[in-house]
Amino acid sequence: WPCPDPADISPCVCCALEENTIRDMDCSSVTSDQEIVTAFSADMPFYTYRTLTILNVQSESFTTLNEFSFGLASFSKVIITNTSLQFIGDG
């Protein structure tokens, strides 16, 4: 608490700051679209995060983020750079 069980959200990693009131999610170890969907399908004590980070992911299986990718999760800030993404949809 307040982050989900690490095994449930792998390969993403949650970090809680400032007495657990701010949560960040780093998914820079993801290798496929399905891994994101699976990670964010996990039971979570909270679904609001300050930042989502996805950096330096060069996998041919990671090409799309869409309205189903993050389930109920929401982010105030998204940092995605140097990836093989080809499509980012609304959602």
pLDDT at res. 21: 80
Is pLDDT of 61 > 90?
Answer: yes
Pairing type for strands 74-81 and 64-65 reads: unpaired
Give the tens place of pLDDT for each residue, 62-76.
999 999 999 999 999
91 falls in which pLDDT band (50, 70, 90)? low
Residues 6+ apart with CB under 8 A from 50: 22, 23, 24, 75, 76, 77
